[in-house]
Structures are given as structure tokens and as C-alpha cells.
Chains A and B, each alone.
Chain A
Amino acid sequence: MRLYSQKEEIKLANRTYEVMYIIDPETEVDKITTLNETIGQLIEKEGGTIVRMDDIGRRNLAYPIKKKKEGYYVLFEVDGSGQEILELERRMRVNDAIMRYITVRVDEDRKKAEKIQAKREKRTSQRAKFRQTEGTAETAAEASV
């Protein structure tokens, strides 16, 4: 077993994941709702928090999976340490109703995007300032001529 340093523990604590899975469309509606509820409870039990739960519903698949042309899509957005994802993936792998699942870690990319946006805003504001000063200088020069 690996011991984490304090710094790494802090890093582990706040991660954001997107979990999407496809349920077999032939399962009954009651079973689908109970499955979603159990998964939500599992996440909260393991120490994660659900940011968003999106029931996308039936959708045509781009290619057949297990000879089925439709699938029931569900999306979770989870904040947590990663432990709940480990347990969740184990459960989803075993469950027969779930045809496919994917988990994507999104917090790093989102942070990067925010950084880029902040930089861009700063640059544009600086440019605007520079332009203003240039304009005033020109008018001053014209006035002197």
C-alpha cells in the first residue's frame, strides 16, 4: 500500500469526474430508476458528492452494441477523491444492464481553460489601455503641430 503525502492528499480530495453509462433499453423503467438511485447512494456513501445528475434518456446508438440500436444514457458529475469512482466502476462492470460506461476526469482541463480565458481577458484589457494611451498621444501631437 502506498502512503500519500499531505500535498497529494489535498490534491486527491477535490477532483471532478464525469461518469456516463448506457443502460440496456429493454430493461424496465422501474429498474432503471432504482439503478440510478442505487448508484447515487453508492457515490454519497463512498464520500463523493453529486454535482449534477443528468438523465439523458433514450438515444440512437451510432453503431450497434450487443445487437441493440438504442440505449438509455445517464450522466453523473461527481466531486470526490477517486475512491468512489473505483467502487462505481467495479459495480458497473459486473452489472449486466449497463452496456457501456466511461469516466472522464474533467477538473484539470477545465482549470486550464479558465487559466487561458483569464490570460486572454488580461491581454485584451492591456491592449485596450495601450490603444487609449496611443490615441491620446496622437491627439496631443496633433494639437502641438
Chain B
Amino acid sequence: MFKGETESRSAFVSAGPSGSAADGQDKQAAGSASRARKPLQGHIGFIGLGHMGTAIAANLVAAGREVIAYVRRAEQMEKLAALGLKPTTDITECMTVNSSSPCCPTMPPFARSYSAARISVPMGSPSV
């Protein structure tokens, strides 16, 4: 199994505006109260631009991030560029941008390609 088995339930905390996990259900409106956010710094590599990923990546752009978006089909690039993303068909560009930003690795073999200084966001739907 996985390593979390021995962790106590009390370790679960919520960082959101609504407080505890238990009362998150009925406080949907609370999210709108925390919109005064400082712009994010740095690039983000983003893999997986489907229905969910595209919406999320567009919001990261709106929050001030530069998002390098990997697409498999070049015809997708125009649509993503129109949202302010920087599309690429070269997946390594999501991992080798020279900045301190996070990225999203989907498969273990990619792990070695990432820089520890960067954040990468994998949003695909691998069947593993």
C-alpha cells in the first residue's frame, strides 16, 4: 500500500478560506472572498490540456503566471495561445524553462527531466 497509512487523521488540514474540511461543503460562496491574490511569479510547465486542464491553465495565466502548455496536436496551439498560454509540441519545454517555477510530471520516466527549481503541473488522465 502507500506510505500514508500511519498518518493520523488529525494531520488533515484545510488551507482554504472556509476553515476546516468538515464545513467546506456549504461554503462555496466563501471562495469568492479570497480573490485579492498577489500575482504569481515564474513559469509553470503544464501537461494535459483537456476540458479541466485548459480551464485551470487559463486561470493560472489570469493569475499572472507564464504557462508553457504541452500539446500533442499542433492544431491545438492556436486555441491555447488565444487564452494566453504558451503552447508547445515539445514536452521538454515544460520541464526545462530557465526559471524557478513548478511543473507537472505525469509519468515516472519524466521525473529525471525535471529541474528541482521548477514546478510542473500534469493534468492528464493516465490509466495507471
A and B are partners in one complex rather than unrelated chains: no
